[in-house]
Amino acid sequence: MIRRPPRSTPSNSSAASDVYKRQEEYKTELRIHPLLTWFWAAISTARAEYKPYIVPEGLLKELFTPRVHYFSNPSEFAPSDPLYNQLRINDAVCFPNLWQWTKMAVCRITGDTEESVLLKDIKINQFYDAFRCAQQFFQIHHNNTPNDAFFPTINMNFLRPSAASVLHPHFQSLILPLAPPLLALILQESKNYYETNHQDFFNAYAEHERNGPRWIGEVGHNEDRIFWISPWAPLAGSDEVLFISNSFSAFPLPDQVWRNIAEGLHKIFVGYHEMGIYSINLVIFSDVYNSTNEYFRIFGMIWSRPLKNLDISDRGFAELGYKMTLTFRSPEMVAADLRKYW
């Protein structure tokens, strides 16, 4: 549910009444800032009441949280979506995320027994299959609601030696009704750049950086190329890597482009390992699904976690890569708790 700020400020009683009346009607609100209209926050009060997926007691052989086990045998224990059930391409399996704050799916990358692995040990084909699995998820949603525009993103939170709150490395594929705040700004500014300079910023930036001190390399040929750069001004975090599509502005992507991204990721993660970086976040941004334009190019960012060599959680892709807020208590709830001290 998308909520814009009210044109006039309601009284405390009417505002509180509105909030509590609506709580049963939605799980997540996307609230747009009254001044910074490109910025929005996700208010997901239902997520605060999340209860872990319960696995039969006989499967709890290790001291892990119960919900890790549904990755090991997803066909039996993972949830299914009424629209697509589960999607599988070799080791990759795509199924609904248990902790949803928008329409989203988990895409497991590695095989049933490949739980606690390092990034450098994930195979190119495994990344490639998981990307294609995620794209199937987006395409099924598009086919089911062809008139609904959405922004698809592919994301990853990875903690060594696990993959976040579950052990298997996995992508999180999101379907968003609004562009994430950072993407919204970049779409706006890249359009302005194109109208002023008559070329797209992304290819101009790649050519400016080519063979310079921040240039890493490229994978692929002609329109399928992916450029890999350490950006002049990192947007998300330390050790940041930016990768840019030469030609495409939105998903779906041809299989060869996904393979080129998978090959580049593998090279980056092998290099990160040698640098002592074992934990990362990743985001890949697209314009509206199945759209095209001349001024924007699909791009992704990878950066190291603040505690890059420890198995400890911090902030994820949404807060850092999207520049958005994800909160489990509504502002009205916070104010109600604190108002009693006035």
pLDDT in tens, 52-94: 445 455 544 443 444 455 566 777 777 788 888 899 999 999 9
In whole angstroms, what is the distance from residue 107 CA to residue 16 CA? Answer: 39
Look up residue 169 and give its two tokens: 């490395």
pLDDT at 111: 82
Backbone angles phi, psi at 37, to 5 degrees: -70, -10
Q: In the predicted model, is pLDDT for residue 310 greater than 80?
A: no
Closest to 72 in 3D by CA, of 104, 105, 95, 99: 95
In whole angstroms, what is the distance from residue 178 CA to residue 181 CA? Answer: 8
pLDDT digits (tens, 9 = 90+) for 249-268: 999 999 999 999 999 999 99
Contact 166, 67 (CB under 8 A): yes
Number of neighbouring beta carbons within 10 Å of residue 228: 21
Dihedral sign for Cα 206, 207, 212, 218, please: positive
Q: Which helix (H) or strand (E) holds 337?
A: helix 331-339
Look up residue 70 and give its two tokens: 């549904």
Residue 339 neighbours by CB under 8 Å, 6+ apart:
none
List the beta strands (DSSP E) in 230-279.
241-245
Among 32-41, 234-243, 253-262, the range scoring the smallest mean pLDDT is 32-41
Q: What is the mean pLDDT of residues 167-174?
A: 86
Query: Is the pTM above the cut of 0.85?
Result: no
pLDDT digits (tens, 9 = 90+) for 220-233: 999 999 999 988 88
Lay out the sheet containing 40-43: strands in order across: 2-3, 29-32, 40-43, 325-327
Q: In the predicted model, is pLDDT for residue 158 greater than 80?
A: yes
pLDDT at 130: 97
pLDDT at 24: 42
Q: In the predicted model, is pLDDT for residue 26 greater than 60?
A: no
Q: In the predicted model, is pLDDT for residue 187 greater than 90?
A: yes
In whole angstroms, what is the distance from residue 35 CA to residue 54 CA? Answer: 43
In whole angstroms, what is the distance from residue 131 CA to residue 149 CA? Answer: 21
The conformation of residue 327, written as its DSSP 8-state character, comes to E
Closest to 191 in 3D by CA, of 44, 294, 118, 109: 294
Contact 81, 100 (CB under 8 A): no
pLDDT at 305: 77
What's the mean pLDDT when you consider all of the chain? Answer: 80
Closest to 41 in 3D by CA, of 246, 329, 330, 326: 326
Q: Which helix (H) or strand (E) holds 281?
A: strand 280-285
N-term to C-term CA, the chain: 32
